[in-house]
Structure 1
Amino acid sequence: MTEILPSEPGNQASGNPIPMDHVDSVLQKPRAEWVRTSAKFLREMPEHQHAPFLKALFKKVTLIDPGMLKALVEGLCRNREVCSPLIQGLGLLLEFREYLNVEGEGSGHRSLQPVVERILDAALSVFSKRGYHEATMEEIAQVAGVGKGTLYRYFKSKDELYHALLEVRLKGLDDEIQQIINSPELDVVDTIYRCFQVYLRFFEHYRGLYRLILREWKAEEHGIYIKRALRRLYPLKKKIFEATRSGIFKPLHFETTFYGFMGFLHGIVQKWLDHGCDYSLLDDLPVASEILLYGVITEKEREKLEKQI
Structure 2
Amino acid sequence: MRDRIVEAASHEIRRRGLRFTMGDLAKRVGMSTKTLYGCFPSKDVLIATILHEAIIELQDKEKEIMANPDLTTLDKLKRCLILIPTDFQFIGLNLITELQRYYPDQWKTLDQFLNKQWDSITELFHEGINQGLLRPFNTKIFIDLYVGGLYRLIENSSDHKSSITLQESLRDMGEILLSGIIKKEG
User: The TM-score by the shorter chain falls in which range?
Assistant: 0.5 to 0.7
Rounded to whole Å, the distance in 1 between the matches of 2:121 and 2:79 is: 12
Is 1:159 the counterpart of 2:159 in the alignment? no
Which of structures 1 and 2 has the larger relative contact order (alpha carbons within 8 angstroms, sep 6+)? 2
Paired AA for residue 117 in structure 1: E
What residue in structure 2 maps to residue 182 of structure 1? 67
Is 1:251 the counterpart of 2:136 in the alignment? yes
Q: Percent identity?
A: 22
Q: Which runs of 5+ in 2 are unaligned?
A: none
Rounded to whole Å, the distance in 2 between the matches of 1:173 and 1:147 is: 32
Q: 5 Å matches for 1:259-278?
A: 259-268=144-153, 274-277=160-163
Rounded to whole Å, the distance in 2 between the matches of 1:189 and 1:290 is: 11
The structure having more radius of gyration, on CA atoms, is 1
What residue in structure 2 maps to residue 288 of structure 1? 173
What residue in structure 2 maps to residue 61 of structure 1? none
Q: Which residue among 94, 113, 116 is the counterpart of 1:225?
A: 113
> Structure 2 length normalisation: TM-score?
0.67
The 1:171–1:213 alpha-carbon spacing in structure 2 relative to 1, beyond 3 Å, is farther
Residues 153-205 of structure 1 deviation map (CA, whole Å, 9 limit, x = unaligned): 21123332221121123333343333223322222222222234444987542
Paired AA for residue 176 in structure 2: I
The 1:217–1:197 alpha-carbon spacing in structure 2 relative to 1, beyond 3 Å, is same
Rounded to whole Å, the distance in 2 between the matches of 1:294 and 1:238 is: 19
Q: 5 Å matches for 1:3-18?
A: none
Rounded to whole Å, the distance in 2 between the matches of 1:124 and 1:192 is: 27
Residues 186-239 of structure 1 deviation map (CA, whole Å, 9 limit, x = unaligned): 222222222344449875423374343343345743443235523xxx333223
What residue in structure 2 maps to residue 114 of structure 1? 4
Q: Tell me the SS of whatever aligns to 1:205.
A: coil
1:244 deviates by 1.8
Question: Is the 1:180–1:191 Cα contact (8 Å) retained in structure 2?
Answer: yes
What residue in structure 1 maps to residue 98 of structure 2? 212
1:146 deviates by 2.2
Q: Which runs of 5+ in 1 are unaligned?
A: 1-110, 131-135, 296-301
Rounded to whole Å, the distance in 1 between the matches of 2:25 and 2:91 is: 18
What residue in structure 2 maps to residue 145 of structure 1? 30
1:269 deviates by 6.1
Aligned residue pairs, count: 180
The 1:283–1:125 alpha-carbon spacing in structure 2 relative to 1, beyond 3 Å, is closer
Residues 107-149 of structure 1 deviation map (CA, whole Å, 9 limit, x = unaligned): xxxx76334422443467666226xxxxx53344234432113
Rounded to whole Å, the distance in 2 between the matches of 1:200 and 1:246 is: 30
1:248 deviates by 2.7
> Structure 1 length normalisation: TM-score?
0.45
Is 1:193 the counterpart of 2:83 in the alignment? no
Question: Is the 2:40–2:46 Cα contact (8 Å) retained in structure 1?
Answer: yes
C-alpha RMSD over aligned residues: 3.9
